[in-house]
Chain A
């Protein structure tokens, strides 16, 4: 059976200069604190909302010793009323009958007249939404959020552990395959986002915690450190995957070239049902407005820059030199379609399509 060799590979963005746009959204409608055209720092609060989501219910009828249907007439507060801790929400005259007081600050969100029950949503914390990335507010999305825009470098990582952070990049590795150890991270890295080359070691994680890093970027993370990494108070970003894999050279060089600049990192990673990829954003000055990232969905062709994402060449970046029309037998004995990839003037290999991704 003969098949066409058209293949549409997954893509990873590694862009030295593009127009970065990020929607910053509140979890619920709230107050927007900035306006269009306003310049913001990553740490600026751009919107806020009071979040609830914790509920207490009170069986008024039982507490006041009245039939459920009559309980509502003893209510001192109604639906949507704000209550303070200790405030009476229901009461009646009667021997030994105590008024029902709210134990917390909150809002009455439900009055079930039939059951004689009242529900209070506990006023909890103020959620403050930060800009996350230094730039300009290009749009305000009603009471839900804002759009921040900036020229800058954009790198999609493979795996992130942890949430958002921002800080100054501190490149500490000389080579893309140099393991990130405690000895590489000294006091000058305090409060910064450390950039290594190879894989993160246990000693580096310990040291990072002591120096209160804002984040850590490396090629990979050893498999048995995944759980430890989840306990770290800062995000960890790996560009290649899990194991002992050096950072792809173009990514290493791109980040290293921005040593000392402020970057924003987001470790959120979702692998299905709404994929979210971790990202490294480095705002940069630009005299002219750079283009947005290109549209995706191009088939793989000769000349494309690709990265190997599994197998013996994992993490290596090269250029497609040819796409054989026929299948090729790989080590395990299967015949697969793939591409010939040149990694250097002296090194090339056949790589199955499934193990390639486009770097753009």
Chain B
């Protein structure tokens, strides 16, 4: 592809996270967009700075130094467009996740799927769940009617937005209207108290005129397509779009200093409005999936403050966020999953106090990094659980019964993905590639044949945003190694536990440079076959009867050429779902062995 016709010679992408602000410089070199340099600094959204422009300038100063190119003028503003002396850049794109999430109340009918669909929609952007009201469910406070209780719960939650669903199109009416009434009264009372939540109705389409009549001008109100128009049909897209628009306007728009940064691009430079990081990250998965008609594409971003799972199937994007949990904000999450769930990923003994102390301290100082191995292992163990929890929530929103995603069945509920992108500090800064790969394998439990790639420069969101300014930037920067190839993975499905120790597959790699390596893979094992970056090899897989690698049970398919990566070829025959020993001592041995197997 040729970038010579583009107006842009250089672009800076800035991502303002809750903990760190990252800046990336991409420039056209010999007609091709390439990654030049990156830098990061502590985000300064909070007091005492309360201005993200301060941290952004710090990051850009570092970027200037790293790239040997002056980016800021004497006033500390980004120089745009690129100057004849090579200083400045032609464009600047900004992504942000530092804003406070939207606080939402979800209200639906108990026993229906509408609440579930509301959850899927709300988790598509930066939201926190302030309250959930299921009509006919929940406990009533003493001395109150159910109607008053619902009003009080919405009032006490003081949300930014109340999302109401319930009733398939043409279905339930009266109970849905009761929810609308409760929201209306609560909104009225809250207005007196100084806040004005918006009411979004995404329920029974037939009720729209009556809902509009009920609310009247009592609240800021919008009708949206039903999130559950039929029992088997989910349509969360329109509500998700509305919530994301609200987040962008009401939360990102209030990040102090963001307006300063957004005003940097001047005439002749290209302006892209600041966008939520998760959306920009999702663009990359969506872009890659548009060309892939056989499998989905998965992106997982283990950020400090937010965890994002972006799955794209045939160009359709499904984003799921845990805005309440990131690798730095895990203290309450330990209560949610239990400290033992975290401890099970460790190869040494820890107490509940150790895990809780770690989580609390990390939250108090989110920008800190591990210095010793045990500290690192706990951080990575927590990241496994955070990603697993977000994936659990994400899976419910993925479509079923379509050609993609394609599930292999059996014990796995993860569809085939190619590739799987890992992002976030805990992955990108893993001291050894094996640690990042094992973390992804344990958290995601992929099946079939896939490639693990690592957003080692923290470029993915930036590329997703930059693609809006110039699509070639994303394409070429990805092709030029913007993402690091971590490993090719073969994860066979079959009765691994009952066949433990039995050979379940034969793998042969025939290197382009000459030579062959062959391995009999035993059930329960984790093996790595070397294939360095730059090398190529033909991979031939011969699964035994009952073993599926995505090509049908017992079928290995044609030999395929694979390219080298940081680790080479990983054959993960540990089975799905991944089983860890219930015996703590054996489990620690198991973890030690897995770490050893991948060179972590």
Contact = CB atoms under 8 A, between A and B. Distances in A.
A80 B193 CA distance: 14
Nearest to B37: A1
Given A10-B365, A331-B373, A336-B369, A223 B62 contact: no
Interface string B182-200: 0001001100110000000
A292 B429 CA distance: 40
Interface residues of B, number: 64
A224 B351 contact: yes
A310 B371 contact: yes
A346 interface: no
A272 B18 contact: yes
Most buried by A among B58, B358, B369, B431: B369
Contacts of B357: 222-223, 241-243
Contacts of B76: none
Contacts of A354: 367-369
Interface in B359-409: 360-361, 363-373, 375-376
Interface stretch (A51-59, A125-133, A177-185): A51-59
Interface stretch (B39-47, B242-250, B275-283, B570-578): B39-47
A57 B148 contact: yes
B360 A310 contact: no
Given A10-B42, A332-B372, A271 B432 contact: no
Interface string A303-318: 0000001111000000
Given A2-B66, A3-B39, A332-B370, A226 B58 contact: no
B148 A56 contact: yes
A274 interface: yes
B49 A332 contact: no
A226 B360 contact: yes
Name the interface size band of chain A.
35 or more
Given A226-B360, A275-B47, A332 B65 contact: no
Contacts of B39: 3
B373 A55 contact: no
B512 interface: no
Contacts of B354: 223, 243
Given A223-B355, A310-B368, A274 B62 contact: no
Contacts of B201: none
Contacts of A158: 364-365
Contact of A332 (B351, B363, B431): B431
B144 interface: yes
Contacts of A331: 371-373
B152 interface: yes
B194 to A, nearest CB: 8
A100 to B, nearest CB: 13
A333 interface: yes
Nearest to B361: A241
Given A10-B367, A226-B356, A272 B329 contact: yes
A296 B49 CA distance: 7
B189 A275 contact: no
Interface in B222-281: none
Contacts of A45: none
A236 to B, nearest CB: 13
B84 interface: no
Contacts of B429: 334
A288 interface: no
Given A223-B355, A272-B46, A121 B371 contact: no
A77 to B, nearest CB: 17
A25 to B, nearest CB: 13
Interface string B178-220: 0001000100110011000000000000000000000010000
Nearest to A336: B369
Contacts of B365: 10, 158, 241, 309-310, 357
B502 interface: no
Nearest to B357: A223
B214 to A, nearest CB: 8
B455 interface: no
Contact of A297 (B49, B155, B185, B193): B49
Interface string B44-86: 1011110000110010011011100000000000000000000
A352 interface: yes
B100 interface: yes
Interface string A147-164: 000000000001100000
A329 B119 CA distance: 44
A55 to B, nearest CB: 6
Contact of A274 (B100, B193, B351, B355): B100
A299 to B, nearest CB: 9
B147 interface: yes
B219 to A, nearest CB: 12
A109 to B, nearest CB: 6
A2 B65 CA distance: 7
A224 B334 CA distance: 12
Most buried by B among A8, A158, A225, A311: A8
Nearest to B368: A310
Interface in A33-49: none
B305 interface: yes
Interface in B91-120: 100-101
Contacts of B188: 110, 119
B218 to A, nearest CB: 8
B371 A273 contact: no
B353 interface: yes
Contacts of A98: none
A271 B65 contact: no
Nearest to A272: B18
Contacts of B216: 114
B372 A223 contact: no
Contacts of B355: 223
A271 B19 CA distance: 11
Given A119-B189, A309-B365, A223 B42 contact: no
Contacts of B44: 8, 297
Contacts of A112: 185
A158 B216 CA distance: 49
Interface string A1-43: 1111010111100000000000000001000000000000000
A55 B66 contact: no
Contacts of B353: 222-225, 243
Given A6-B61, A223-B360, A297-B49, A57 B147 contact: yes
Nearest to A226: B356
Given A55-B185, A222-B357, A354-B369, A271 B329 contact: yes
A9 B368 CA distance: 11
A76 B566 CA distance: 80
22 contacts: A3-B65, A8-B58, A28-B193, A55-B185, A56-B144, A56-B148, A57-B145, A103-B143, A119-B189, A121-B189, A224-B351, A241-B357, A243-B354, A272-B18, A272-B366, A274-B47, A295-B48, A297-B44, A310-B365, A310-B369, A311-B372, A332-B372
A-B pairs, top 10 by smallest CB distance, nearest first, are A223-B357, A223-B353, A311-B371, A224-B353, A333-B431, A4-B65, A223-B356, A310-B368, A242-B360, A243-B357
Interface of B: 18, 37, 39, 41-42, 44, 46-49, 54-55, 58, 61-62, 64-66, 100-101, 143-145, 147-148, 151-152, 155-156, 181, 185, 188-189, 192-193, 216, 305, 329, 351-358, 360-361, 363-373, 375-376, 429, 431-432
Interface of A: 1-4, 6, 8-11, 28, 53-57, 103, 109-110, 112, 114-115, 119, 121, 158-159, 222-226, 241-243, 269, 271-275, 295-297, 309-312, 330-334, 336, 352, 354-355, 357
Given A242-B356, A272-B329, 6 more contacts: A2-B65, A119-B188, A271-B363, A297-B48, A312-B371, A357-B365
